[in-house]
Amino acid sequence: MQLCVLDVVDTMISGYSKELVIMSGTELDEPGKLKRAVIDASAGGVAGAISRMVTSPLDVIKIRFQVQLEPTATWALKDSQLKPKYNGLFRTTKDIFREEGLSGFWRGNVPALLMVVPYTSIQFAVLHKVKSFAAGSSKAENHAQLSPYLSYISGALAGCAATVGSYPFDLLRTVLASQGEPKVYPNMRSAFLSIVQTRGIKGLYAGLSPTLIEIIPYAGLQFGTYDTFKRWSMVYNKRYRSSSSSSTNPSDSLSSFQLFLCGLASGTVSKLVCHPLDVVKKRFQVEGLQRHPKYGARVELNAYKNMFDGLGQILRSEGWHGLYKGIVPSTIKAAPAGAVTFVAYELASDWFEANLT
């Protein structure tokens, strides 16, 4: 299994390197470009790991809601004869803690970290390359002058590249986080082998299509709105804090708290818009998972033909609120996750740039 994981990671890294070469139009053999790529990838990996560890409990709760076929909202239960396992954020938190202990909130965290570290590494590195290509310069001050539309496009492209490179780990994370007690799979190795044996290698990419369709607006909105909020904050600083306008680097004029608020707002906006597609993705990922009956109806294997069929079935059988299951913990998680990711990236990038020789 270790060899399989290493092979997957090695493939992702080699594929990522080729993408950088194609997008930049030149080989990454120039010291300055190689250093910049290492800084972006390292800072992105650190940011993703920190964000993931902090927000894991909310992510587990969100996944439990999303893969539950029965209603999750109290108001939706009035018209339903079904008795859901999970109902309400606080009640679900108490149930998970009582049945699985504190560690239950970090279930699936190992594959999640294996997913998020390469994901954010690829995402921020590709984002910088796309912005450098669009701006004709690798300097951050020139990136800040890009059109908002280019920021959205850059974020979308970076999100797609990162998703393809890290998706199997995302699927394993979802399966392990949603299985509950008793466990269907004792560890990541068991889940990996079972999925490959029953569904083939393509089973590790179940739900990739809705994920890519989701990630284009999600990552575009996340990075685009982040850059937009940063620009607004810079304008505010120049008007009301003239003492900071002498800085040569636009990001220097923003405090860590302002960067935190920008990340908070961008994470909230992007998650609210794209949540229904995330629900469909999670259903694809847990198809055929033989959870204990106490967790309610199971998502049968090949239950959905494609993304549109999944959206239609959920809408018909569960109503509009079915497409927004888990929206409360998802939004609560997305806001600090976005904030922590961007602040950690900015700080880690500055540290690597100052100390990497």
Euclidean distance between the first and the last CA atom of the chain, given in angstroms as a whole number? 36
pTM over 0.85: no
Tell me which residue of 236, 224, 230, 221 sits closest to 261, measured CA to CA: 230
Highest mean pLDDT among 16-20, 141-145, 178-182, 248-252 belongs to 178-182
DSSP string, 301-323: TT--SSHHHHHHHHHHHH-GGGG
DSSP annotation of 94 reads H
Q: Where are the domains of the chain?
A: 1-12+33-135+145-238+253-356
Which ranges in the chain belong to alpha helices (H)?
A: 2-24, 31-66, 89-100, 109-135, 140-143, 148-178, 188-199, 208-240, 256-285, 307-318, 327-355
Domain 1-12+33-135+145-238+253-356, classified CATH 1.50.40.10, yes or no: yes
Encode pLDDT of 4-40 as tens digits: 433 433 443 344 444 434 334 444 444 466 777 777 7
- In this structure, which amino acid lies at residue 91? R
- In this structure, which amino acid lies at residue 32? G
User: Using CA atoms, how far apart are residues 278 and 272, in angstroms rounded to an integer?
Assistant: 11
User: Using CA atoms, how far apart are residues 211 and 205, in angstroms rounded to an integer?
Assistant: 10
Helix (H/G/I), strand (E/B), else coil: 116 = helix
- Residue 207 has a pLDDT of 84
Mention every residue, 6+ apart, whose C-beta is less than 8 A from residue 352: 38, 39, 42, 43
HEC profile for 229-251? HHHHHHHHHHHHCHHHCCCCCHH
Burial-class residue 261 by CB neighbours within 10 Å (0-12, 13-18, 19+): middle
Encode pLDDT of 111-156 as tens digits: 888 778 888 888 788 887 887 887 777 766 667 667 777 778 888 8
Indicate the range of 6-15, 89-98, 124-133, 310-319 predicted with least confidence. Answer: 6-15
- Determine the longest span between alpha carbons in the chain, in angstroms: 65
